[in-house]
Amino acid sequence: MFFNFLNRQQSNTSTILFTSVLLCCCIHLAGCGVQTQKRQLTSREDVGTLVKDAAYFKAESPFLKVHLLNGHVYILSDWNVDEDKKLVTGTGRLLDVNREILEDDFFSIPLDSVAIFETNVVHTSGSVAALAVITGASVALTIYCISNPKACFGSCPTFYVKNEGVPVLQAEGFSASISPALEGRDIDALYRVKPTARDFEVLMKNEALETHVVRYADLLIARRTKGGRVFAASNNTFWQASKLIEPSQCIGPEGDCLKKVKHFDGLQRISETDSTYLGAKETIDIEFRNVPDAKLGLVIASRQSLLSTYLFYQTLSYMGNSVGKWLAMMERGDEVTRKRAGGVGRLLGGIEVLTLNSQGEWVAVGEINETGPLATDVHLVPLPQNLPNQAKIRLRLTKGHWRIDYIALAVLGKRVEPIRLKPSLVRRNAIRDDIAREALLDSTRQLITLPGDVVTLMYRLPEDFVEYELFLESRGYYLEWIRDEWVADEDLSRATMIFLNPELALRKLAPEFKQVEAEIEELFWNSRYAQ
């Protein structure tokens, strides 16, 4: 994986180290924040929004840091953005890659040379000045976060659909996309949603101390057979299902777990992490009876626990004051560098699905690895043909890493292509926002939301909307706001361990996580920025 990159003997080993550490963990979720400073980051493509909000930033932030693709950084105390000329202009200081002062002057900076913008409000000095530290938390939030900073709420965009007038969390978008370089797409099944009218409303919220940058949020609708469902597989194919078969048996290390996975009801099967190694595996054996001779798929509704969130926050903590600097360095990395990430994420893994072959051996046939601990998503894993009438399926997963709500066997029919629906109306914080809608319709633009923002997305369904399965496809990335509490744990030797020896890191961190495992879920949900 990424270790091959180290063998190239790049000259800037610190760049390699941090980029690698961050990438090894970035496939998991990141989170929230609590203290006394405020930062907003945006990619160079977001200059339109930056211009629009220039008055806000200039009032709230005396500095604009402009991280360039060549490694230099400008720190500007008085600045403006010229959207037409694609320039940032301002008075300040230019630093080189070693953060030595090159000159103090008035600068005109081409936007296409920028990797990341960074702004802050509090006058600080030294390495702290280069850090993205943020506030905005209420007193109640601060109390919860102070009790354990690694349990603070974090999300990515959360999507709610009203059920009997009450918004219910249904999906979370692109949870693994923690920077512009890692912009990604995500498809979430709105499995429990039952539309009652053609005008369909989705609330997209920013409930953490993060910047959300959304490329699009489209509704996908796929026609069902009568009495059937439609499921999305991990390869982004969609399959009609005519029948669902309940498991007849579910056996985990704890014993019988059938009651917890037989129905999609919020009663979830979860285990505790291993006390000595956070990557320790377990298996769950599922049995189905009266299995027909047909094309079949395994349906699993699940979400991650907060293990990966904790580990991600801990990694950022160990990086301390270097996080903002090296985030910009990651933006300058090549595609090969980013794709060779592995580390902690690879060891934790997903939910692996295995079936018995003709020799009686367990063989892996698919894997579910949806990042995110917030919303339970529904996935399909197509299975090999000719399963026996009494079929046995095994799940292999990391202990304490997954919450499983529902398991079923689906009798599959045709593959279908969903219809894509764009938002017909967009409101930001209850006010109609045509500019926001235009951004979501234009693939070259992005919609930025800040903590506490609520964006209402309206879609127009077909007249026979009850015949369709609904999915939400979102694309974008989000940027974590770094907390003072994290910086206090700065330890570059431990950060090095997470990258160079992730297995050892998962052993060293096991006792620390066990101390908070019992309470982390309650702390997490109670520390949302926007309640």
Q: Report the phi/psi class of residue 222: left, alpha or beta, with left for phi > 0 and alpha for psi in -120 to 50.
A: beta
| DSSP assignment letter at 274 | P
Q: CB of 457 within 8 A of CB of 426?
A: yes
d(Cα 193, Cα 196) in Å, to the nearest integer?
10
pLDDT of residue 146: 64
How far does the chain reach from its first CA to its final CA, in angstroms?
A: 40
E strand or H helix at 49, and its extent? helix 47-52
d(Cα 30, Cα 309) in Å, to the nearest integer?
6
DSSP lists the bridge partners of residue 214 as 447, 476
pLDDT of residue 396: 98
Instruction: Describe the crossing of helices 13-26 and 323-332 by its angle, rounded to 10 degrees.
Output: 90
Give the pLDDT of the chain (531 residues) as one tens digit per residue.
Answer: 322 322 333 333 333 344 443 444 443 333 333 222 333 333 333 433 433 334 434 444 466 778 787 888 888 887 777 777 878 888 998 988 777 899 999 999 887 787 767 665 433 322 222 223 333 333 445 566 666 777 777 778 999 998 878 889 999 999 888 777 788 899 999 999 999 999 999 999 988 877 788 999 999 999 999 999 999 998 889 999 999 999 999 999 999 999 999 999 999 999 999 999 999 999 999 999 999 999 999 999 999 999 998 998 888 888 876 766 666 677 776 555 554 446 888 899 999 999 998 888 999 999 999 888 889 999 999 999 889 999 999 999 999 999 999 999 999 999 999 999 999 999 999 999 999 999 999 988 888 887 788 999 999 999 999 999 999 999 998 877 777 677 778 888 888 888 888 999 999 999 999 998 988 888 888 777 554
Q: CB of 396 within 8 A of CB of 286?
A: no
pLDDT of residue 265: 92
d(Cα 50, Cα 27) in Å, to the nearest integer?
28
Residues 67, 70, 76, 81, Cα dihedral to 10° = -80
d(Cα 79, Cα 237) in Å, to the nearest integer?
48
pLDDT of residue 159: 96
Percentage helix, strand, coil for the chain under 3-state DSSP, each rounded to 5: 25, 40, 35
Amino acid (one-letter) located at 170: Q
pLDDT of residue 163: 82
pLDDT of residue 352: 98
- Residues 6 or more apart whose CB falls under 8 angstroms from that of 202 comprise 159, 160, 161, 217, 219, 456, 457, 459, 472
- Domains of the chain (ranges; CATH) run 39-121 (2.30.30.100)
- Predicted TM-score (pTM) of this structure: 0.81
E strand or H helix at 309, and its extent? helix 307-319
d(Cα 430, Cα 44) in Å, to the nearest integer?
28
Residue 307: both structure tokens together: 């293990």
pLDDT of residue 102: 92
d(Cα 144, Cα 136) in Å, to the nearest integer?
14
pLDDT of residue 446: 85
Residue 445: both structure tokens together: 């633009």
Rg (CA), the chain: 24
